[in-house]
Amino acid sequence: MQNKSSDFNIMQEQVTILVIYTGGTIGMHIDNESGALVPVNFDEISKEIPALQDYNITIDSWSFDPPIDSSNMDTKSWIAIANVIEENYENYDGFVVLHGSDTMAYTASALSFMLENLNKPVIFTGSQLPMGMLRTDGRDNFIASILIASEKEEDTPKVPEVAIYFENQLFRANRTFKYNAENFMAFRSGNYPELAHAGINIDYNEKYIIRPNFKKLKVHKTLETNIALLHLYPGINKSVVQAILDIPNLKGLVIKTYGAGNAPTTDWFIESMKKAIDGGLQVVNVSQCPVGRVDMGKYQTSLELGRIGVISGLDITTESALAKMMYLLGRGIPQKTFCSLFQTSLRGEISNRKQ
């Protein structure tokens, strides 16, 4: 069957979940002096979820000290989350990461690459309104994430991968992007179906969920941060592009191009890119469109990119492309194999070229 529903059996076998609280709106309150939202400790969130006491779930927690706004997330924070999961992997059935929504797709995408052979759920969630507010979406997001991370079938986790849960929808993390700053339905997955939908029951779209391989977890903690993002726009000039290409020790560049991967055909642009690529820079082409894929060669304006060695990102998201580039460059992948490996699905982040 493609889809299976679950109302989560309250009498199920005891399950243990570790909640990793990094910060974010879900754990914020209004500061009396400034009027701004500031992080609070996880203990103040745990008081808001007495309903979970009805389930046979043991919930422990680990918190950043102090909690941070997701805008301050960096690779050191990603490594800290990965370390907590690695150190506690054998002691828990699943993990829920509470994280600010602004950079959640970046962090969750990165963790999907860092956690090789993951066979347990790592569910990211957060909220648009603080947990303490009357109309908060945080309570439902938190409870559903705990239940999804806890659920098993024949002693095997239902969702043994890194995912994002927000407003009734569960998405593969490295296929997801934030698209709305004001609506509770803040995330979308333009090129891949949802993994589950929570209504009266939780309906799992099983054929789209990664199956466990039961291999030993391997955690990658070396990430190359000497990369850049170039967003093209009409009228972009040579000095802007060259300033990015001249960044000292630059190892990788993600270009956000138009439509199906199109870019200017002006001589200076192509020549600048070719020189950089010939010098060892890895350049990946992703579309500015949140839905669709790069198809270099479909139009004349992308033919030259392929000729000079720009790598098609196919249907990968920008967030996932940046994370994957950091991961591959951090592993020291040779230049001659970087292209084929980038275009290979490692964690379900990209569709194969025939799709």
Separation CA 305–CA 311 (nearest Å): 8
Write down the residue that tokens 């191009």 correspond to.
Answer: 257
Separation CA 343–CA 338 (nearest Å): 9
Separation CA 325–CA 229 (nearest Å): 11
Residues identified as active-site: 25
60 - beta bridge partners? Answer: 18
Residue 41: strand, helix, or coil: coil
DSSP state of 131: T
What is the per-residue burial (b if ≥16 Cβ within 10 Å, else e) of 182-200? eebebbbbebbebbbbbee
Separation CA 298–CA 344 (nearest Å): 21
79 neighbors 221 (Cβ within 8 angstroms) = yes
